[in-house]
Amino acid sequence: MNTTKIYSLYSHFYDSFFGRIFQPGRRIANELMDVQPGEKILEVGVGTGISLPFYSKNAEVVGIDISQDMIKQAEKRKQELNLSNIRLNIMDATRMAFRDGFFDKAIAAHSITVIPEPVETLKEMKRVCKKDAEFFFLNYAGSDNDIITRFEKAISPIRNKLGLGKAIELEELLHSVSFEIVFNDRVNIFKLCQIIKCKALVHNGKI
C-alpha cells in the first residue's frame, strides 16, 4: 500500500493515536518558529492540521499534504476554528506548485521520515523558501539507549510499511543538502522526538 492509501485509512483515527501524545512537541516547535505578523509559512505534510491552532492569525499559512483524506480533516478543523489565514492544498512535497523564494519559514512535523523521497522534499523546501528562511523539523527520533535503538532499527522496515516513518539519519541528510543545523533538542514523552531548526547554507549567493 502506498503512503496516500495508508493515510487515507489513518485520516479517521490519526488524531486519537498521534494527537495528544505528540502535541507538546508540536507546541514547542511552533514557539520556536516565532511566527511574525505577515510572514508566509509552509507546513509540509500538514496531515489533519493538528498544529494549525498554534499559528498566529496574522501569518499566512499554507499546509500541504499528498493525502486528500488528511487534507479533508484539516479543512474541517480550519472551518471549525475559523482559521481564515490558513490555506490547505493537496500537493506532493517533492513537486510543489510554489514559486522560488516564496516562504519565510517552513516546517515538516512528523513527515520527513514518512515521505518516501526526503532528499527531493528538502530540496523543494529550500527552493520555495527565501534565502534567509528558517526550517524546522520535528520527528520521532527513538530512544538514545543503544539496545532499544538497535531494536528500533530492526523494526524500521515494518514501521515504514505501515507509513509510520523509517529510521533516517536526519542530521546527515540535512548536511547532505546544505542545511546548517542551528538548534537541536529532544521533546515529548521520554524525549523520544527531536526538534531541529536549520538555515540553508548560501554558496556564492546561491542556496
Ligand X SMILES: C[S@@+](CC[C@H](N)C(=O)[O-])C[C@H]1O[C@@H](n2cnc3c(N)ncnc32)[C@H](O)[C@@H]1O
177: how many CB neighbours lie within 10 A of its CB? 18
- Residue 65 or 134 with smaller CB distance to ligand X: 65
Number of residues in contact with ligand X under rule CB under 6 A: 22
The grid coordinates of residue 7 equal 493515510
d(CA 163, CA 158): 9
Task: Compose the 7-46 pattern: x for residues touching ligand X by CB under 6 A, - for all others.
Answer: x----------x-------x------------------xx
Task: Compose the 86-125 pattern: x for residues touching ligand X by CB under 6 A, - for all others.
Answer: ------xxx--------------xxx--xx----------
Of the candidates 66, 129, 141, 174, which one interacts with ligand X according to CB under 6 A?
A: 66
CB of 204 to ligand X, least distance (A): 30
Alpha carbon 16 to its chain centroid, in Å, reads 19
CB of 144 to ligand X, least distance (A): 22
CB of 26 to ligand X, least distance (A): 6
Residues of this chain that bind ligand X (CB under 6 A):
3, 7, 18, 26, 45-47, 50-51, 64-67, 70, 92-94, 109-111, 114-115
